[in-house]
Amino acid sequence: MSFAQTPCVGGFADGFRCDNVTLMSHLSLDDVGGAQNGNDCWGWTSPQGKEIAIYCKSNGTSFVDITDPVNPIYLGDLPSHTSPSLWRDAKVYNDHAFIVSEAGEHGMQVISLTQMDNVVNPPVSFTETAFYGAFGNAHNIAINEESGFAYAVGTNTFNGGLHIVNIQDPTQPILEGGYAEDGYTHDTQVVIYHGPDVEHTGKEIAFSSNEDYVTITDVTDKTDCEMISTETYENAAYIHQGWLTEDHRYFLQNDEIDESTFFFATRTHLWDMIDLDNPVYIGYHESPEITSDHNLYTKGNLAFMANYLSGLRIVDIANLGNGPLEEVGFFDTSQGLNYPGYSGSWSVYPYFESGNVIVSNMDNGLFILRPDEEVLNLNHSVIEPLKLNAYPNPAKNILNVTWSQNIDSTIKLMNLTGQVVAEFPTMGLNGKFSLDISKIPSGIYILMSTDLTISSQRIIIE
C-alpha cells in the first residue's frame, strides 16, 4: 500500500493535488496483482456490510475489501476470460458482478460476490461462476437493477448497439433481444423511468451515448425496441458517456475529445429531459482544467467526474437548470501536468453508504477517497422520495402495500411492457392496502404512484 489516510492540507495530500477530499489509502497496480494498465471500477456491499471495490485491469479484475478504508485488503483476481485488453468494464446485480472486455471472444464473465466474505488467505485466484458467450468483445455493460436486464454495448452483435441479456438468474444469462437501428453505442444508462415526462412513466428507457448523438430508446419490449429521440449539439466531437440526475429530469454527459479537438477547457454537457421526445441541450459546465473527461455519475446533489489527468472532480448540481454549477472538491490521481489525453482517472464509484469514493487510475492503481463533510453535507438538502413498501416480495395471491402518509394519488402495478395490470386510489385508505394478485401472471412488475415524488418498487409475483 502506497499511502494511507492523508488529509488535504495546503492543496496537497502526499503529493497529489486536492481540495476538500481526503486520501484514505492508495493501492498501486502492483499492490493489486499487477497489470499493464487499470481501467474501470465499480462497487458492491455485502449482506454483512463489507464494502468491496471492483477494479478492472488489462489482465483481469481485482477485488479489494475497503470496509476499513485506511487498511484495504486485496482479496484476489478474476483473470480475463481470454487475452488482456486496455478495456474492461464491470457492473453488479443481485450479488454478482458481470464483466466484459474488448478482448476477442471474451464474452461476459459472471462471478458471485458473496465469496468475498469468506476469503481466508488473500489474495486468491477466483474463477467464473457463469459465462455468457453470445457476443465476443464488448466495450461496456450497463445493468438496470430494477428490471434485472444487462445491456452490453459496443459488441460484435446488433451493429454495436444494445445487446440485451436477461440476468434475473445471474447464473443463467439469456439473450432477450437487441437494438441495432442506431448503430454503435459507446455507453448507456437504463432505468425504469420516473421523470417529468408522464408519457413514458414506468417504461424501461435507455439513455445512450452514441459517439455523435445522445439517443433515447424505449427498451420495454426487448424484441421491439423503439427510438424515442436522438439529438446532438454544436462542436460535438465524441459523445462518450452520461448519467441522469436522480429525478430523471437532467442528463449530464461528457465528450471525450472535444477538449483535444477544439482546445476547450473540460466541458460537461447538460440536457433537460423534461420531454424525452424533444430533449433540450441547455449548455455546459466548464472545469478550470483542460483535460479530457471520461466517466461521471450523480448522487443526490453531487456529480462525481473522472476526468483523466485532472482526476476526480466533484460538482454541486443542485442549481442545474437555474444557473452555473460549482466545483466543490477534487483529487488529482495523477502527478504532473494536466492536458487533454488518455491517461489518469478512468472512472469513479460514489455509491458506498460510508461516503467513501473509489477512483480507478490507468497508471497509478486504485484510490480510496473521502470527500470532506462539508461536501457530503451538500446532499443533505436532497428531499428523499416517499417510498412505497410492498410485502411479501416475491408475492403470491396478496400483495400488501403501505406508504408513509395519506396522499391523493393512484397506485399502479405495471408489467415490463408498461401495461397496467392493477391499480387503486390512495385516498381514504390510511396508508395501506391489500391487493389481490391471485389472477396476475407470474413475473416482474413495477409498483408505482402517479405522484412522481414517490419512488417505484420492483415486485416479483410467483
Which cell numbers in the block locate residue 313?
472532480
Instruction: Give the model's pLDDT for residue 438.
Output: 93
Do residues 302 and 375 touch, judged by C-beta distance below 8 A? yes
Prior bond of 123 cis (ω within 30°): yes
Name the CA radius of gyration of the chain, rounded: 22
Q: What is the pLDDT of residues 18-48, one digit of tens each?
A: 999 999 999 999 999 999 999 999 999 999 9
pLDDT at 1 over 70: no
pTM of the model: 0.84
Minimal CA–CA distance to 224: which of 273, 276, 176, 289?
176
Instruction: Give the model's pLDDT for residue 377.
Output: 84
Angstrom distance (rounded) from CA 334 to CA 188: 27
> pLDDT category, 382, cuts 50, 70, 90?
very low
Least-confidence region, from 95-99, 264-268, 362-366: 264-268
Q: What is the pLDDT of residues 395-428, one digit of tens each?
A: 999 998 887 655 678 888 988 777 889 988 877 7
Least-confidence region, from 15-29, 374-388, 436-450: 374-388
With cell 445512450, the residue in question is 208
The backbone torsions φ and ψ at residue 213, rounded to the nearest 5 degrees and listed phi first, read -140, 150
pLDDT at 354 over 60: yes
Which cell numbers in the block locate residue 125?
485466484
The backbone torsions φ and ψ at residue 271, rounded to the nearest 5 degrees and listed phi first, read -125, 140
For the chain, which domains are there? 3-381 (2.130.10.10), 386-461 (2.60.40.3080)
pLDDT at 430 over 90: no
Q: What is the pLDDT of residues 171-203, one digit of tens each?
A: 999 999 999 999 999 999 999 999 989 899 999
Minimal CA–CA distance to 53: which of 376, 313, 359?
359
Task: Cite the DSSP H helix spans in 194-246.
Answer: none
Beta bridge partners of 3: 26
Mean pLDDT of the chain: 92
How far apart, in Å, are the Cα atoms of 300 and each of 272, 273, 337?
17, 17, 31
Do residues 300 and 319 touch, judged by C-beta distance below 8 A? no
